[in-house]
Amino acid sequence: MTGQAEDTKSQPTLLSSKLLLQHQAVEAALNRHVFVWKEIEKSQKRGISKTPRSHAVPVSEIVAIHHAEDEDHTKSKWDQKKKQQFSQLFPNSFTVFYVTRTKHHRWRCSEATFSCSSPELCEQWIQVTREQLSLLTNRPKRLLVYINPFGGKKRGRRIYEDKVAPVFQRAGVSADVIVTERANHARDHLTTEANLDQYDGVVCVGGDGMFSEILHGLVARTQNDNKVDQNRPDVELKPCMLRIGIIPAGSTDCICFATVGTNDPVTSALHIIIGDSQPMDVCSVHHNDVFLRYSVSLLGYGFYGDVLADSEKKRWLGPARYDLSGVKAFLCHNHYKGTVSFLPAEDNLGHPRDKLQCRFGCSICQHKQSSKEKLRETADEETAAEVSSSSSWKVICGKFIAINAANMSCACPRSPKGLSPSAHLADGTADLILVRKCSRLDFFRHLLRHTNTDDQFDHSFVEVHRVKKFHFEPLDPQPLLLENQSELPKKPGFCPMSSAQTTCIPSTAHSSWNCDGEILNHAAIQVSVHCQLIRLFARGIEEQQRV
Ligand SMILES: Nc1ncnc2c1ncn2[C@@H]1O[C@H](COP(=O)(O)OP(=O)(O)OP(=O)(O)O)[C@@H](O)[C@H]1O
Ligand SMILES: CCCCCCCCCCCCC/C=C/[C@@H](O)[C@H](CO)NC(C)=O
Ligand SMILES: [Ca+2]
């Protein structure tokens, strides 16, 4: 039995009785927090007696309880038939569906079917358990789902229909589904059209780009409704009330991976169903006094900007485009001149190299949440401004191969510890990583360390700072003119490589910013981190897996 179950033993029992679980007699009991069953006496096999086993499921992780004979859309025809046969043999049975943990942070929906001695007892179990589930007010009942049919390997619609919709149905979660017809369809619908009052959350089926659409739609809608001007770089943005769920169906899916620990649609669906909540910081990006975009994962200039700009031309390649463009950007080995200024975070928010990873229940993020609430209760804006200006701006000029601001670890299957392994999801800071001009071999060593356990910041040409705000100013105000410029895409600030496949632009040219997988139109930007502006249906990566 788990420790959690032991802790909640003292709760008054709501229901207990003898039941049959696959021909095995069990003593089952339910209290407000846990559903437990224990084998009464272990049936003997070949004369060897076994210790009776017990099992405990936290009520918060029960997905649903149904009559065993109820139709189940997750089952194959063969399994449905077997289920019917079982129900004929044991008519007074109910099935409990609950979360189980498997390897690599994956969750599965397991089930246990119990047979009762009478129809009344069976009804009682179903009713009392459902009553307890109805007390869990954090669970969503109605969701607005956007599917990008073209993200990743173009499997978004199948993933939703085959793996997610049946689990939602089982849990009694209803969903209004919109399959997008163009880029920015979801963003525009959320910003201006959607009747959000009727929903408990928004779900995106797609990759980081699709998540970014939902983020922009929801944040813009919240600011518009509250008359907050997003163009003001110092404005305090209003937090969004609706949580966002991510069903991974993209190429990198780094936001899902870094908040759940895996890119698995069923795991994400279960986090949504049980109503998990993970607050998340959002960076706002401005050019002068004009709002450009929001970012939750990576804001990258230089290497990651060049990778993205090149990969956009190879979308037809699917997820492999990033590998090809990565190799190309690496071989070009460009560096860019500019000035980075930043406002460091307070010391109590740790350091990017302190090896304190943000995990489920992270104390740094939780402390930030409670101090944010306290500040909101007690202080006026003046006090808040004082707190935020307690440290002073620092300025660094130089030649950089990469400037990366990681608002969270940016862990993804390519780099399971991420760009900044100790960055926090909800601490109001981003880790600013400056990779100065160095040899190709040194840069390779640095990149390689993203894939193993070595410290990628332990190089003389890399520095990393935890910041609340930063600005970047490229050295030359105008991008360099290239010979074949008329053939380049018409995007200001976009000039990483010439149109000839193998030549690279001179290293004094501008790069572009990769903002969560979207290219920004300006190289000079101002960035502020907005602490816990949104919430996801996630809980952060769990430390200990209970398998
Ligand atoms: N119906 C659509 N047609 C064309 N583009 C779309 C459509 N719906 C969404 N998009 C756009 O497709 C882009 C890429 O989608 P998505 O993020 O889902 O996949 P990806 O780029 O393969 O994955 P990742 O962002 O994880 O690398 C998004 O920027 C989104 O704006
Ligand atoms: C020699 C081996 C080198 C391997 C280097 C691996 C480094 C991988 C780091 C990946 C970080 C990805 C951060 C995520 C960014 C997303 O916002 C964005 C949109 O999906 N993805 C990309 C690739 O820009
Ligand atoms: Ca952060």
Q: Identify which ligand lies nearest to the alpha carbon of 148.
A: 1
Query: Which of 150, 153, 322 is the best mutation target for the ligand 1 pocket, counting ligand atoms within 8 Å of the beta carbon and taking the most?
Result: 150
pLDDT score of 88: 67
pLDDT score of 79: 72
Q: What's the rounded Cα separation, in Å, for the pair 369 and 428?
A: 9
pLDDT score of 151: 87
302 lines ligand 1 (CB under 6 A): no
Whether CATH 1.10.10.10 fits 3-134: no
Measured in Å, residue 299 CA sits from the centre of ligand 1 at 18
Q: For domain 282-480+491-530, give the fold.
A: Tumour Suppressor Smad4 (2.60.200)
- Token look-up 């200001």 returns 492
Q: Identify which ligand lies nearest to the alpha carbon of 283.
A: 3
Assign domain 139-276 to its CATH superfamily: Probable inorganic polyphosphate/atp-NAD kinase; domain 1 (3.40.50.10330)
Measured in Å, residue 139 CA sits from the centre of ligand 3 at 26
Query: Which of 145, 148, 519 is the best mutation target for the ligand 1 pocket, counting ligand atoms within 8 Å of the beta carbon and taking the most?
Result: 148
What ipTM was estimated for this complex?
0.95
Q: What's the rounded Cα separation, in Å, for the pair 472 and 300?
A: 11
3-state SS record for 294-361 = EECCEEEEEHHHHHHHHHHCCHHHHHHHHHHHHHHHHHHCCCEEEEEEEEECCHHHCCCCCCCCCCCC
Give 396-457 as a DSSP string: EEEEEEEEEEESS---BTTBTT-SSTT--SSSS-EEEEEEES--HHHHHHHHHTTSSSS-TT
Note whether 139-276 and 282-480+491-530 share their fold. no
pLDDT score of 260: 97
pLDDT score of 316: 85
Domain ranges in the chain?
3-134, 139-276, 282-480+491-530
Q: Is 525 helix (H, G, I), strand (E, B) or coil?
A: strand
pLDDT score of 505: 46
Q: Nearest CA to 435 among 451, 450, 417, 413?
A: 450
Measured in Å, residue 172 CA sits from the centre of ligand 2 at 37
pLDDT tens series, the chain, 547 aa: 444 444 556 789 999 999 999 889 999 999 999 999 999 876 555 566 677 889 999 999 999 999 998 877 676 767 777 777 677 666 899 999 999 999 999 999 999 999 999 999 999 999 999 999 999 999 999 999 999 999 888 999 999 999 999 999 999 999 999 999 999 999 999 999 999 999 999 999 999 999 999 999 999 999 999 999 999 999 999 999 999 999 999 988 999 999 999 999 999 999 999 999 999 999 999 999 899 999 999 999 999 999 999 998 888 888 899 999 999 999 999 999 999 999 999 988 899 999 999 999 999 999 877 676 666 655 544 444 445 555 799 999 999 999 999 999 999 998 999 999 999 999 999 999 999 999 999 999 999 999 999 999 999 999 999 999 999 999 875 544 343 333 333 333 333 333 333 345 445 479 999 999 999 989 999 999 999 999 999 999 998 655 4
Residues sharing a CB contact under 8 Å with residue 47, sequence separation 6 or more, in sequence order: none
Measured in Å, residue 405 CA sits from the centre of ligand 2 at 13
Ligand 1 atom closest to Cα of residue 518: 29
Cβ-contact 217, 188 below 8 angstroms? yes
pTM for the full model?
0.89
Q: Nearest CA to 533 among 464, 431, 432, 430?
A: 430
Measured in Å, residue 1 CA sits from the centre of ligand 1 at 44
- Host H or E run for residue 2: none
pLDDT score of 219: 98
> Residue with the nearest Cα to atom 9 of ligand 1?
183
Ligand 1 atom closest to Cα of residue 156: 18
pLDDT score of 251: 87
Q: What is the chain's Cα-based Rg? A: 26
Kindly list the protein residues whose Cβ atom lies closer than 6 A to any atom of ligand 2: 207-208, 252, 254, 297-298, 304, 308, 322, 410, 412, 414-415, 419, 447-448, 450-451, 514, 516-517
- Cα 352 to its chain centre, rounded Å, is 20
Q: How far apart are the first and last CA of the chain?
A: 12
251 lines ligand 1 (CB under 6 A): yes
